[in-house]
């Protein structure tokens, strides 16, 4: 069993001061910060009581920076220095950005990530995001009364490594210790406590201000795995506002309005849309720049007719993601609604109809991601209430296993296993009288040791001499919550043990992991062939050794021609073994195996006779 060290007392007397940790939803349109107070997750408001912070940063001449509503107010008159939707630029190159259309910024090409020329100099999306995160950090520190222990920052499930790294860098730049990046749909599911729910498939329907994301998650043993994502990067609540504004203009017989009027009208339209979530009809009032007053009454029925096609557009990615995951709507056990735009009644209705069940919508859809992130941050910071189970959300990126005979990998912990975890498997000796076993710990998805990454080697010595296959060596892999692997081996009959501790992810960058995964897919076929060859060789060598040992021990039982035939087949197998022809090795081994069967039977009879010789029936315990 494990050896323990003496630990420092865990402030056993008196409750420990909770460590302040927050969850941050860094959104395309809005961002917010939440924390867990007295066991309840809560979004933290600014000094004016507003929870949402528009994800907009304005750079002023002379180095000043405005973030949020202040910056939003200048979106119209200072577009080049007022950066909105910076999340779309995170980790993207100029080429990616140019494709996505006509943002009003001065893009500067830079290696790795596009940059923006502003009045305050060239800024990277990381720096812009850091400004938003800094405001949220200061808000949280003021509310919680001290520096933060750390933050969980959410990212879309489809974010690639570069985008995730950029988000992490932005948080670091903003003075935040990133406890973990968490997928947004996972955070939403955590907020609804689904990690304690029945295992199964859940979906997250996230209709934000300007983007739509749909994710299919599988919950197994308290861990969410993202099965599929789909979405529309140019569909959100803003499109619904525009439809209302256009309708109002058409009703009033007005043409394209001036920029300032358009902006006012859209704000009025948005307010009307939000009221329609509660009311059946609502007035839409807007004063235009020339003093005219636009006044209409908008009914919910009209609104729903105007925007029905937008709602339909959300269902195409939903169907696509389910198809990718190989699932039907009926397989989904629950649908979590995220994003302010999911408050609209006809969106809720469409989702309910599609899945045949009412969506989960009792948490504030604007806050649900941040609330889930806060819950996760609270656990990671070590404020877990006594008795509550550890929230398992991390998985092992690559499989862990050991080398077996023939340079093959025996996987012990498969990739995507949740940590902490412990798995054990029994192995045995290959040769008669083998007293030591070398244990080689490797990481990767390939079948051959040579193609995987070597993590550690250690030896188990002192195995009592036994026939091959009789020793029972239990190898246990244990990965703790920080991803630290320890491997121990124990021979059961003698109790000898040996162990080693390694950090599997140490020195492995995300791109290494990605490359190793890609290799495993690309080489799956040749790996299978290599594995078959190695297995045939191991099997053939074992058989040859066994037949030779039998001839040496009981050669007297063989007639001369039988013996010659076995020798011939042995030589034949010996010749085939070093070759690369799996089938030839198998054939040679099979031939030897068949030819030696009568010999084996005779040896068995002889052994039984020897055992029984000189004993009466009464001595036998039958």
Partner 1 sequence: MAVTLTENAAAHVKRHLARRGKGVGLRVGVRTSGCSGLAYRLEYADAVNPDDLEFESHGVKVVVDAKSLPYLDGTELDYAREGLNEGFRFRNPNVKDQCGCGESFNV
- Which of 277, 422, 538, 591 binds partner 1 (CB under 8 A)? It is 422
**Contact stretch for partner 1 (CB under 8 A) within 3-11, 167-175, 531-539, 571-579:** 3-11
Give the list of residues 6+ apart from residue 50 with CB closer than 8 angstroms, or none. 69
**Contact stretch for partner 1 (CB under 8 A) within 6-14, 20-28, 80-88, 92-100:** 6-14
> 151 to 170, contacts with partner 1 by CB under 8 A?
none
The closest alpha carbon to 240, from 314, 306, 294, 296, belongs to 306
Distance CA 119, CA 109 (A): 17
**Contact stretch for partner 1 (CB under 8 A) within 41-49, 113-121, 242-250, 417-425:** 417-425
Minimum separation from the CB atom of position 391 to partner 1 (A)? 14
Is 7 a binding residue for partner 1 by CB under 8 A? The answer is yes
Please say which residue, 265 or 413, places its beta carbon nearer to partner 1. 413
Minimum separation from the CB atom of position 504 to partner 1 (A)? 16
- Contact predicate 371/41, CB 8 Å: yes
Minimum separation from the CB atom of position 52 to partner 1 (A)? 39
Is residue 123 annotated as a catalytic residue, yes or no? no
Please say which residue, 15 or 63, places its beta carbon nearer to partner 1. 15
> 475 to 494, contacts with partner 1 by CB under 8 A?
476, 478, 486, 488
Q: Tokens in use for 471?
A: 């020793």
Q: Tokens in use for 33?
A: 């910060």
- Which of 160, 497, 565, 590 binds partner 1 (CB under 8 A)? It is 497
- Which of 474, 542, 587, 602 binds partner 1 (CB under 8 A)? It is 474
- Contact predicate 185/213, CB 8 Å: yes
Q: Which of 46, 206, 394, 445 is catalytic?
A: 206
Please say which residue, 203 or 496, places its beta carbon nearer to partner 1. 496
Is residue 25 annotated as a catalytic residue, yes or no? yes
Q: Which of 46, 87, 403, 541 is catalytic?
A: 87
- Contact predicate 435/562, CB 8 Å: no
Write out the DSSP string of 283-335.
EEEEE-TTS-EEEEEEEHHHHHHHTHHHHHHHHHHHHHHHHHTT--GGGEEEE
Please say which residue, 176 or 485, places its beta carbon nearer to partner 1. 485
Distance CA 590, CA 569 (A): 10
**Contact stretch for partner 1 (CB under 8 A) within 179-187, 302-310, 471-479, 515-523:** 471-479
- Contact predicate 402/178, CB 8 Å: no
Return the residue matching tokens 């990998």: 409
> 289 to 318, contacts with partner 1 by CB under 8 A?
none
- The span from the first CA to the last CA of the chain, in angstroms, equals 39
Q: Tokens in use for 309?
A: 């096609």
Whether the bond between 529 and the residue before it is cis, its omega within 30 degrees of 0, is no
Please say which residue, 113 or 496, places its beta carbon nearer to partner 1. 496
Number of residues lying near partner 1 (CB under 8 A): 26
Distance CA 571, CA 325 (A): 53
The closest alpha carbon to 41, from 383, 481, 418, belongs to 383
Q: How many other C-beta atoms can be found within 10 angstroms of the C-beta atom of residue 211?
A: 23
Is residue 492 annotated as a catalytic residue, yes or no? no
Q: Which of 46, 127, 184, 238 is catalytic?
A: 184
Is residue 206 annotated as a catalytic residue, yes or no? yes
Please say which residue, 242 or 422, places its beta carbon nearer to partner 1. 422
* Half-sphere exposure of residue 42: CA atoms within 13 angstroms, side-chain side: 13
- Which of 119, 345, 458, 546 binds partner 1 (CB under 8 A)? It is 458
CA 616 to chain centre: 68
Minimum separation from the CB atom of position 418 to partner 1 (A)? 13
**Contact stretch for partner 1 (CB under 8 A) within 4-12, 26-34, 443-451, 570-578:** 4-12
> 498 to 527, contacts with partner 1 by CB under 8 A?
498-500
> 8 to 37, contacts with partner 1 by CB under 8 A?
8-10, 12-13
Is 613 a binding residue for partner 1 by CB under 8 A? The answer is no
Edge-to-edge strand list for the sheet holding 106-108: 106-108, 115-118, 121-123
- Contact predicate 269/296, CB 8 Å: no
Please say which residue, 80 or 384, places its beta carbon nearer to partner 1. 384
> C-alpha distances in angstroms, 54 versus 69, 85, 131, 153, 316?
6, 9, 12, 16, 29
> 373 to 392, contacts with partner 1 by CB under 8 A?
387
Contacting residues toward partner 1, per CB under 8 A: 1-10, 12-13, 387, 422-424, 458, 474, 476, 478, 486, 488, 497-500
Active site residues: 25, 87, 184, 206
């Amino acid at each position: 069993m494990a050896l323990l060290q003496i630990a420092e007392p865990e402030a056993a007397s008196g409750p420990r001061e909770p460590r302040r940790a927050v969850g941050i939803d860094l959104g395309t349109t809005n961002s917010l910060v939440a924390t867990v107070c007295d066991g309840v997750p809560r979004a933290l408001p600014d000094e004016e009581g507003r929870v949402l912070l528009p994800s907009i940063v304005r750079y002023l001449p002379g180095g000043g920076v405005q973030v949020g509503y202040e910056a939003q107010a200048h979106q119209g008159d200072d577009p080049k220095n007022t950066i909105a939707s910076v999340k779309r630029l995170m980790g993207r190159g100029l080429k990616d950005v140019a494709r996505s259309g006509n943002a009003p910024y001065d893009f500067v090409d830079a290696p790795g990530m596009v940059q923006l020329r502003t009045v305050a100099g060239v800024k990277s999306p990381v720096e812009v995001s850091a400004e938003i995160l800094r405001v949220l950090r200061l808000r949280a520190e003021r509310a919680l009364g001290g520096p933060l222990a750390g933050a969980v920052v959410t990212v879309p499930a489809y974010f690639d490594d570069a985008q995730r790294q950029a988000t992490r860098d932005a948080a670091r730049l903003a003075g935040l210790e990133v406890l973990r990046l968490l997928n947004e749909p996972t955070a939403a599911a955590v907020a609804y406590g689904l990690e304690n729910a029945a295992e199964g498939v859940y979906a997250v329907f996230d209709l934000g201000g300007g983007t739509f994301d749909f994710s299919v998650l599988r919950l197994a043993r308290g861990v969410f795995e993202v099965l599929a994502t789909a979405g529309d990067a140019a569909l959100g609540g803003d499109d619904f506002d525009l439809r209302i504004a256009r309708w109002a203009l058409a009703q009033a017989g007005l043409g394209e309005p001036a920029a300032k009027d358009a902006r006012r009208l859209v704000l009025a339209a948005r307010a009307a849309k939000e009221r329609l979530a509660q009311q059946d009809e609502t007035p839409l009032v807007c004063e235009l720049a020339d003093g005219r007053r636009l006044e209409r009454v908008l009914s919910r029925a009209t609104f729903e007719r105007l925007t029905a096609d937008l709602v339909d557009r959300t269902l195409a990615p939903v169907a696509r993601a389910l198809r990718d995951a190989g699932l039907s709507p009926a397989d989904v056990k629950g649908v979590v609604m995220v994003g302010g735009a999911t408050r609209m009644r006809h969106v809720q209705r469409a989702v309910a109809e599609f899945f045949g069940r009412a969506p989960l919508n009792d948490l504030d859809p604007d806050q649900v991601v941040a609330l889930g992130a806060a819950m996760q941050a609270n656990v990671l910071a070590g404020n877990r209430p006594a008795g509550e189970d550890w929230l398992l959300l991390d998985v092992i990126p690559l499989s862990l296993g050991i080398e077996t005979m023939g340079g093959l990998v025996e996987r012990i912990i498969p990739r995507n296993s949740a940590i902490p975890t412990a798995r054990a498997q029994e192995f045995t000796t290959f040769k008669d009288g083998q007293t030591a076993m070398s244990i080689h710990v490797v990481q990767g998805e390939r079948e051959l040791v040579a193609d995987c990454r070597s993590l550690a080697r250690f030896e188990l010595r002192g195995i009592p001499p036994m026939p091959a296959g009789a020793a029972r060596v239990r190898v246990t892999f244990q990965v703790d919550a920080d991803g630290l692997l320890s491997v121990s081996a124990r021979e059961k009959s003698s109790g000898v043990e040996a162990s080693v501790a390694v950090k599997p992810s140490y020195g492995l960058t995300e791109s290494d992991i990605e490359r190793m995964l890609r290799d495993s897919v690309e080489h799956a076929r040749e790996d299978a062939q290599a594995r078959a060859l190695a297995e045939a060789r191991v099997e053939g060598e074992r058989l040859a050794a066994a037949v030779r040992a039998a001839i040496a021990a009981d050669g007297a039982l063989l007639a001369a021609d039988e013996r010659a035939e076995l020798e011939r087949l042995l030589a034949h197998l010996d010749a085939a073994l070093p070759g690369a022809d799996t089938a030839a090795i198998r054939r040679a081994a099979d031939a030897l195996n068949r030819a030696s069967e009568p010999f084996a039977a005779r040896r068995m009879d002889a052994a039984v006779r020897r055992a029984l010789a000189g004993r009466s029936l009464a001595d036998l315990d039958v």
